[in-house]
Amino acid sequence: MAFSEKYQHLIRENEPLAPYCWLQIGGEARYFAEPNTLDDLCGLLAEAHQQKIPVRLIGGGSNILVREAGVDGLVVHLATSEFSKIQVSEHSLIAGGGAKLNHVISTAVGAALAGLEHLAGIPGSIGGAVAGNAGVINDDIGSRVTRIQAVDRTGVLNEWTRDSLQFGFRRSNLDDVIIVEVELSLEPAELSELTRRMQSAWIVKRAAQPASGTRVVQAFIDPSGTSISDALEAAGLKGAVEGDVSLSARHPGFLVVSGEASSEQVLALLERVTRAVEAQSGIQLQSRLRIW
């Protein structure tokens, strides 16, 4: 076996990954683990590194497309309570990397702390949100981060302070680590006003995407200088279809899958749309999806 007896109880082999992804398609993970403790996580990563087994982290699964061939490596899911804790201390909030972003937001609002309420409705975990610097127009979560703890690919735990963190548009310098704890700096505010702002952000977010329950993901980032809607319309691609995969005609930029959709169909549609938009307008679309 690739992993020692100490960690065998944590490993599931040939685990289907579709249930962990919003699109609910894709293959299996050769190894899959939900570590119970930080020591478990560090040990698993250290052994994977020694055995040269690639490691991937899956959070909410809202931006991941798994190929039908699956992942020939270890997929880690931070789903246990150890990695989902949320604590409020005066004007800061500390959350485990696996905590759902919207749980973090509602906790902050409930404690009358401002700074996150405008992010309501963005899916995924806090760790994924920080690594991808999730945000809205003119604001992002990176501006609130003061400290993180993360485990590198060799299983070593490190602490990163504000001075060593780098955030840009939907990116950070944290792609190669697994975030296990995040500290955010917030400000006190009126609870009723925060609640109103959080609810407003949630309503706006929901209105801009297909109905809940649909197997859907946001496929593209709005290009600079125009909207994804205008770029797709100019290329004649609104509502484009590839097998059981389509672009939402009402909510441009969102991919909707149904029936027996496959990851190959998703990839084919993404490639067709990207090429057509570039040929029509010279715009190079950036995908929000991480292809596994």
Known catalytic residues are 170
Query: Sign of torsion, CA 4 9 10 12?
Result: positive
CB 155 within 8 A of CB 42: yes
The alpha helices in the chain, defined as continuous H runs, are 38-50, 101-110, 126-131, 191-207, 228-234, 263-281
Calculate ∠ Cα 273-277-282, nearest 5°.
Answer: 150
Which string of b and e fits 4-25 if b means at least 16 CB within 10 Å? eeebeebbeeebebbebbbbeb
In whole angstroms, give the CA distance from residue 230 to residue 148: 38
DSSP 3-state assignment of 263?
helix
Q: How far is CA 289 from CA 17, 21, 66, 161, 266, in A?
A: 15, 11, 10, 28, 11
Report how far Cα 287 is from the mean position of its chain's Cα atoms.
13
